[in-house]
């Protein structure tokens, strides 16, 4: 899966963030989502979806090789991570997250929950063209 977004379709509903937090963390807390929705105010209805495009910058700067590529997605290995946060600083999209009470950063693992739940089809699988709608 390769995530893509058509920002023109995003309504800012944040259902994608809720789906992400439920799928990855088992919590009903969109603030813990591994993607961001940015509102471009004061322009009404203008939103931008930010998600990990698996560029590998996080893995490249990790001093302990704690971010290997597994099944097409870079994943943080909690057993190796030393919480230096170099990956968070290096992320060009600002989507390496460090949540309160978390000791290590986390990132998108391409689970697809956001794609499945987006009611507008703004987030989709670029490989298949399929989205939530």
* Sequential pLDDT tens for the chain (133 residues): 899 999 999 999 999 999 999 998 898 999 889 999 999 988 778 999 999 999 999 999 999 999 999 999 999 999 999 999 999 999 999 999 998 788 999 999 999 999 999 999 999 999 888 875 5
3-state DSSP assignment of residue 114:
helix
- CA–CA distance, 78 with 67 (Å, rounded to integer): 9
Q: For residues 56 and 66, what is the distance between their CA atoms, to the nearest angstrom?
A: 12
| Residue with the two structure tokens 């990990």 | 52
Residues 6+ apart with CB under 8 A from 70: none
CATH top-level class of 54-104: alpha beta
Cis peptide before 15 (omega within 30 of 0): no
Q: What is the reported pLDDT for 129?
A: 83
Residue 132 has a pLDDT of 59
Instruction: Provide the 3-class DSSP secondary structure of residue 47.
Output: strand
Q: Report yes or no on whether pTM surpasses 0.75.
A: yes
Burial letters for 111-129: b for 16+ Cβ neighbours within 10 Å, e otherwise?
ebbbbebbebbbbbbeeee
* pLDDT for the residue numbered 133: 54
pLDDT for the residue 99: 84
Q: How many residues does the chain have?
A: 133
Domain ranges of the chain: 1-51+108-123, 54-104
φ, ψ of residue 24 to 5 degrees: the values are -85, -40
- Report whether 84 contacts 98 (CB < 8 A): no
């Amino acid at each position: 899966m390769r995530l893509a977004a058509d920002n023109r379709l995003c309504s800012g509903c944040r259902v994608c963030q809720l789906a992400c937090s439920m799928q990855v963390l088992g919590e009903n807390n969109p603030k813990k989502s591994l993607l961001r929705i940015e509102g471009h105010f004061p322009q009404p209805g203008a939103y931008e979806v930010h998600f990990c495009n698996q560029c590998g910058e996080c893995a490249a700067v990790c001093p302990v090789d704690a971010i290997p590529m597994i099944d097409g997605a870079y994943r943080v290995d909690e057993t190796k991570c030393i919480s230096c946060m170099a990956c968070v600083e290096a992320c060009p999209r600002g989507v390496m997250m460090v949540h309160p009470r978390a000791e290590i950063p986390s990132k998108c693992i391409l689970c697809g929950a956001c794609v499945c739940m987006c009611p507008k089809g703004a987030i989709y699988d670029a490989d298949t063209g399929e989205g939530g709608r």
